[in-house]
Amino acid sequence: MDPFQRWNEGEEYEVIDDSREHWWQVKNKYREIGYIPSNYVEEKSPGGLRQHNWYVGDMSRQMCEVLLKRENKEGTFVVRNSSSKGIFTLSLFTRISQPHVKHYHIKTNNKKEYFLSEKHAFTAVEDLIYYHKHNSAGLATRLKQTPTSQITCIPTTAGLSHDKWEIDASELSLLEELGSGQFGVVRKGKWRGHIDVAVKMMKEGTMSEDDFIDEAKVMTKLQHPHLVQLYGVCTKHRLICIVTEYMKHGSLLKYLRENERRLSPKTSVLLDMSVQVCSGMEYLEQHNYIHRDLAARNCLVGEGVVVKVADFGLARYVIDDEYTSSGGAKFPIKWAPPEVLGYTRFSSKSDVWAYGKT
């Protein structure tokens, strides 16, 4: 069962096996068994939150603030998942005293009722939101509206289908060139005619291909809202192609240069960008993965100024003077800390150094 052809919004599935992080084996209403992306579904519950336009899922605190401040209207709000599992946070914009965003944890009592003020508890989050649309009851202001220009974060998928990392080149159509660099040319593409992707076409002789292909199987399993998703690779032709998630605004370096006048050092957008990069790098560290080439040119900007770290681990396989020391170890010399220059010792600390240099 091809999940991209058979999956429909609002459809219900019976989960058979959820032991894998990214792909679950399920049964649909026709009793067909197959795999679906785990991050496209949520547990069925009465009045699921995803049906409401005020629920933004895993959107970060910083991104919520950017969204609500951009709207700049009293009482604009969203509800998001808190960093603590199973807890929700209400983010609310107010102009009282000065324009700012307040964040309220939606708590539960021993009856498993939701509340912001203990005097007003409800059996469902929807009922709580309805009440506070008419009564501030301890909030800075009552809830008035949701953002008109919501940032929609389409969930990334670990690979284009279940257990697939080798992509058939015949299923890719190449469009305009997005850029070029030491790795090769990057072009926008379409997978099966409807999924936007970026295709990095490696120059012949610029990388250790066999080693990278083995690593790609691992890299496709790394999945985070602030990491550019590696979908897979094409290896059956003369040039190796790396297929990744498409980010419409290109590199962070290019974005900053093009918007230099608008993005002053005092703007919260710059801080939010930094936090997003930190979030992606924290995930890599938690999974014992070292980037080795963190720089603004290797971070990409997508819809809603979402920033994602790209090309993690790729520097190890590049054959290029800029990436090679006299001892033969491959790393970006300009961003390398003393322990890498002297002893070729990579760690998450060397990534932190590169982050500071960026």
Q: What is the DSSP string of 7-34?
A: --TT---EEEE--SSSEEEEE-TT--EE
Q: What is the DSSP string of 309-356?
A: E--TTGGGGB--GGGB-TTS-B--GGG--HHHHHH----HHHHHHHHH
Query: For residue 48, what are the β-bridge partners?
Result: none
Note whether 315 and 331 are within 8 A (CB): yes
φ, ψ for residue 305 (rounded to 5)?
55, 40
Which of 293, 311, 320, 321 does the annotation list as catalytic?
A: 293
Residues 222, 61: Cα–Cα separation, whole Å:
23
Report the chain's terminal Cα–Cα distance, integer Å: 44
Structure tokens at 317: 């396989």
- Whether 293 is a known active-site residue: answer yes
207 DSSP assignment: B
Q: Which of 122, 119, 109, 112 is nearest to 139 (CA)?
A: 119
Q: Which residues does 130 contact at the CB level (< 8 Å), separation at least 6?
A: none
The helix (run of H) or strand (run of E) holding residue 219 is helix 209-219
Question: Is there a binding annotation on residue 200?
Answer: yes
Buried b (16+ CB within 10 A) or exposed e, 320-337: eeebeeeeeebbbeebbb
Residues annotated within the binding site for ATP are: 200
Active site residues: 293
